[in-house]
Structure 1
């Protein structure tokens, strides 16, 4: 099964060039190593409209999966979870919960503060999996450690296959 993806980094500092994006390239590397075709990458600032527009824009590139990294915390400038409100037709809470618990079980109590979401966006006749990862390399790695073993089955289900 061919799976296509896009990766969006959400960071004020990376979007202005003040800091180099490390989490996005980490995600691209891990996805590529897993045999997933990453069709597009993007960096946007922490803004509800910018995040929502970026997710919609990369989804137009007929990808199966959009991974965002960053903006999932509880600081006043973390908007990723809120930006998902108008986009996700439904959440898949088990994925987001498993990512948080994975980090917690690795000894990172702050993982419980992530407001990252996972769900399905509907764009015309297409359905796209969207998963929000924390903005750290560790957060991206934890997210993909949880997601990659179930990604093919998840995409198969999102595409409408039977159980």
Structure 2
């Protein structure tokens, strides 16, 4: 199973800094057998994210793409919109479950617009930008994500 992880944060991107969330998610995925082919920071830019996701999914480079950040209500928060735009099929249960899980910790979870979808044979999932929230969310849904990846690879 192959994966890619991107944090959407223009400030980190311009400063050429690493993402704590992406690094933590990479370790979690590797523990369950994923080969993480790419992990990094991208600007909060709809065109950039669209191009990266299309390149990865249309070439079957990865089975799973996780994004962190850019899932809120500001204009620059484009991750859910890109996933909705490029997916062949949406999986609304994934972000609904993550929001419900995170409501135990903060009411701000109701402002999260995360999305999940399938493009070709690749699962794409938006997660929160905060490293702890992203890790907790991934830990909660990881068995189901593995199951989806396995089904899509049949």
Do these two structures clear the TM 0.5 threshold for a shared fold by scoring above it? yes
Report if aligned partners of 1:64, 1:128 keep a CA contact under 8 Å in 2: yes
Distance 1:18 1:153, change over 3 A: closer
Deviations 1:67-91 (A, max 9, x none): 0111001122211111223311111
Distance 2:106 2:27 in 1: 23
Distance 2:50 2:65 in 1: 12
Deviations 1:77-118 (A, max 9, x none): 21111122331111111111001111112x221112111111
Cα-Cα RMSD: 1.6
Report if aligned partners of 2:83, 2:116 keep a CA contact under 8 Å in 1: no
Indicate whether 1:102 and 2:101 are aligned: yes
How far the C-alpha of 1:57 sits from its partner, in A, is: 2.7
Q: What are structure 2's unaligned runs of at least 5 residues?
A: none
Alignment partner, residue 82 of structure 2: 83
How far the C-alpha of 1:19 sits from its partner, in A, is: 5.5
Report if aligned partners of 1:102, 1:142 keep a CA contact under 8 Å in 2: no
TM-score by length of 1: 0.86
Which of 11, 14, 31 is residue 33 of structure 1 equivalent to? 31
Aligned residues: 153
Distance 2:47 2:89 in 1: 19
Report if aligned partners of 2:60, 2:122 keep a CA contact under 8 Å in 1: no
Which of 9, 15, 21 is residue 23 of structure 1 equivalent to? 21
SS of the residue corresponding to residue 88 of structure 2 reads strand
Which of 133, 136, 146 is residue 152 of structure 1 equivalent to? 146
How far the C-alpha of 1:157 sits from its partner, in A, is: 2.2
Q: What are structure 1's unaligned runs of at least 5 residues?
A: none
Alignment partner, residue 58 of structure 1: 56
How far the C-alpha of 1:23 sits from its partner, in A, is: 1.0
Alignment partner, residue 142 of structure 1: 136
Distance 2:80 2:49 in 1: 10
Instruction: Report the structure, 1 or 2, having the larger helix content.
Output: 2
Decide which moves more: 88-97 or 49-58: 49-58
How far the C-alpha of 1:64 sits from its partner, in A, is: 0.6
